[in-house]
Amino acid sequence: MNLANYVGGRWIEGGGAGTALIDPVLGTELARASTQGIDFAAALGFARGTGGPALRTMNFAERAAMLGKIVEALQANRDAYGEIALANSGNTKGDAAIDIDGAIGTLRYYARAAQPLGTAKTLRDGGLIRMGRDEGFQALHVGVPLRGVAIHINAFNFPAWGLWEKIAVAFLAGVPVLAKPATATCWLAQRMVEDVVKAGVVPAGAISIVCGGAGDLLNHVRPQDAIAFTGSAATAASIKNHRRVIEAGTRVNIEADSLNACLLGPDAAPGSAEFDLLVAEVAREMTVKAGQKCTAIRRVLAPAQVAAQLADAIGARLAGVKTGNPRNETVRMGPLVNKAQQKAAVDGIAALKREARVAYEGKDAPIDADPAKGAFVAPTLLAANDPSTGRAIHDVEVFGPVATVMAYRDAEDAFALARRGQGSLVASVFSGDPAFLTTAALELADSHGRVLALDAATAKSSTGHGIVMPMCKHGGPGRAGGGDELGGLGALWFYHQRSALQGPAERLKAIAEASATTV
C-alpha cells in the first residue's frame, strides 16, 4: 500500500520506492510513504489562495461548528484508528486512546471553548487606549488571521493528537494547514485526514497532508506562514536556522525534547500517601506508550535518605508490567516505534549507566513476540547518589521506558537539579506540606512550562504528570524549545497578526465591539 499525499485538493502518490512503515512488533512492512515529485510550492500556494480565503469568510462560531463536524467524522472511524495505532506504533489500547481520544477531545474542547467568540472574525487585545489629551483619538490592539499557511511538522509518537491539537487552533483562527507527520507513523494521520476530506466538512484547500520527507518544503515559506514544529531539538535547530525561514521572518513555534522531573517533597516519607502516589506516577509515566511521551518523567528527585527505598518501590511496580505484543490482552507495555528508536534508547541507557547504577531492569522476554523482530526495550530504572556531578543523566533524553532516581540533599539542591534539565515541558511535585508545594511550584515554574503540584487530597482529581490538557499551556522554555501551544483560546494569537490601530475613538469602539477577546 502506498500512502498518498493530499495536496492541491487531490490525492497524489509520491514517486520512487518511498520509506517503509514497519509493524514494530512483527517487523513486517505495512505501507510505503513518499513525497518524491510533490510540488511543495504549488501545495502551499493552493492552501494560501483557496483554503485561506474560505476559512476567513467564516466567523468563529462557524469555524467552531466545523471542528464539531471533524469530531463526528473521526468518531465514525474510531475503530480503524485503534487498529492502525496497534499495527504501526505497537500501541496498547490505552496508548492508542491517549493519542486518538486525546486528539478528538482536544478538537471537542476548542469547538466548545470558542462559543464566547460568537460571530466575530477578529480578536481584540484589551480595550481602547488613550494616548494623549484628545479622547477622540485612541488606540486598540486587534488580531487578524494570518494570510498564509500553518505548516505543522510533527513527531512520530503522537500521530493523531499531534495532528489535531495543532489543526484545531489553526482552523479556529481561520488559517489553512499543511501537515507533515513523522514518516514512521504517518499512516494514522493520513487516514484521519482522508476521513475528514471524505466527510466534506472542511473547505477546499483548508487541509493538506504530506506523507514522507519534507523535501524542499521550507524553501517556499512566506512571511505570513507559521511553522509549528514538534520533534527533536536537533531538527528544531535546523528548521529555526533554515535560510528561507530566517529571510521570510516566518513564525516558528518549537516543541522539542525535555528531561522532565518529578520531585518527592522532604516530608513525604515511605508509607505516606504522597510517596505511594509518586511511585505509581513514575511507573505509569515510564511505561505508557513505552515511555515515548515528550512529557514523560525522566528524572525522579528524592530526599537522599529515602532515594534507595523509592527506587526499590518503583522497581517493584515495574516488575509487574507485562511487556510484549499488545495483541495479547495481558500486555501493558508495547515496543518502541521502530528499530532505530530501539537502538537510540539502548545507546542512551548505556550513556546513563556510566553515571548511575541500575536499580531495576526488566529481564523477561516479550510476551507473544520475537525480540529479534520487534523493537522492545525493557523498563529500566537507574539511580544516582550524587547527581550534581552527572552530565548525561540531565542531558540525554532516552525516549523509552527509562528514568533515573536522583538523591537530593535539601530543597535548594532539588530545585537546582531540576533546572539542570535546562528547561523542560513539565515538572511535578508530590508533598503533603502545603508550604513546600507552594514554594516548589513557584521555584520550578521558571524552567518548566507546566508544574503539577500534588498532595493526597487532590490526587484523585489529578489529570496526571504526562497528560497535556488543552486548557493549559503546552511547551517549555530553553531546551524544550520555548514553545507555547494550547492553553485555551490564547493559542489563537500564534495564527493572528496583532496590530495596534490608532484612530477616531468611535471607529475603534465599533471595531472593538465586533471583535472577540480571548481572556
Which is nearest to 172 in space by CA: 475, 494, 499, 482? 494
Q: What sign does the dihedral 221-227-232-237 (CA atoms) show?
A: positive
Query: Within 10 A of 97 (CB to CB), how many other CB atoms are there?
Result: 16
Catalytic residue among 165, 186, 211, 255: 255
Q: Tell me whether residue 349 or residue 425 sits nearer to ligand NAP (CB atom).
A: 425
C-beta closer to ligand NAP: residue 20 or 456: 20
> Under a CB-based contact definition with an 8 Å cutoff, are residues 142 and 124 in contact?
yes
CA distance 138 to 140: 7
Closest distance to ligand NAP from the beta carbon of 212 (Å): 6
211 catalytic per annotation: no
Name every residue whose Cβ is closer than 8 Å to that of residue 262 and which is 6 or more positions away in sequence.
278, 281, 282, 285, 297, 299, 300, 301, 427, 428, 429, 430, 465
Task: Round to whole Å and give the CA distance between 23 and 90.
Answer: 7
Nearer to ligand NAP, 266 or 490 (CB): 490
> In the complex, what is the shortest distance from the CB of residue 217 to ligand NAP, in angstroms, rounded to a whole number?
6
Closer to ligand NAP by CB, 142 or 254: give it. 254
* Residue nearer to ligand NAP on the CB measure, 364 or 446: 446
Please tell me the distance from the alpha carbon of residue 339 to that of residue 348, in angstroms, as a whole number: 14
Compute the least distance from the CB of residue 485 to ligand NAP, in Å. Answer: 7
Return the bridge partners of 263, or none.
301, 429
> Cα 292–86–30 angle (5° rounding)?
105
d(CA 86, CA 325): 9
- What is the C-alpha separation between 334 and 371, in angstroms, rounded? 12
Percent helix, strand, coil in the chain, to 5, is 40, 20, 35
In angstroms, rounded to a whole number, what is the distance separating the alpha carbons of residues 31 and 1? 5
Q: Where are the beta strands (DSSP E) in 62-219?
A: 123-130, 137-145, 150-153, 177-180, 207-209
Q: Summarize as ranges the residues that interact with ligand NAP (CB under 6 A).
A: 153-158, 180, 182-184, 213-214, 218, 230-232, 235, 238-239, 255-258, 294, 397, 399, 425, 480
User: Is there a catalytic annotation at residue 165?
Assistant: no
CB of 238 to ligand NAP, least distance (A): 5
Contact 326, 289 (CB under 8 A): no
Q: How far is the CB of 187 from ligand NAP (least distance, A)?
A: 12
Of 165 and 455, the one with the shorter C-beta distance to ligand NAP is 165
C-alpha distances out from residue 489 to 69, 403, 486, 494, 516, Å: 19, 34, 8, 10, 11
Work out how close the CB of 42 gets to ligand NAP at its nearest, in angstroms, rounded to a whole number: 18
Nearer to ligand NAP, 180 or 419 (CB): 180
Please state the closest distance from residue 233 (CB atom) to ligand NAP, in A: 7
- Nearer to ligand NAP among residue 153 and residue 263 (C-beta): 153
**8 Å CB contact between 379 and 316:** no
CB of 137 to ligand NAP, least distance (A): 44
The 10 Å Cβ neighbour count of residue 200 is 10
Nearer to ligand NAP, 258 or 404 (CB): 258
Single out the catalytic residue among 165, 211, 294, 485.
Answer: 294
Is 380:286 a contact under the CB 8 Å cutoff? no
Alpha-carbon gap, residue 517 to 519, rounded angstroms: 6
Q: How far is the CB of 466 from ligand NAP (least distance, A)?
A: 11
Q: Which residues pair with 207 in a beta bridge?
A: 177
Which helix (H) or strand (E) element contains residue 454?
strand 448-454
Nearest to 519 by CA among 170, 116, 63, 140: 116
Instruction: Return d(Cα 301, Cα 513) in angstroms, integer.
Output: 51
From the CB of 234, what's the least distance to ligand NAP, in Å?
A: 6
HSE-CB for 239 with a 13 A CA cutoff: 28
Q: In terms of Cα–Cα distance, which of 24, 29, 95 is closest to 366?
A: 24
Residue among 419 and 450 whose Cβ is closer to ligand NAP:
450
Report which residue's Cβ sits closest to ligand NAP. Answer: 231
- Catalytically active residues are 255, 294
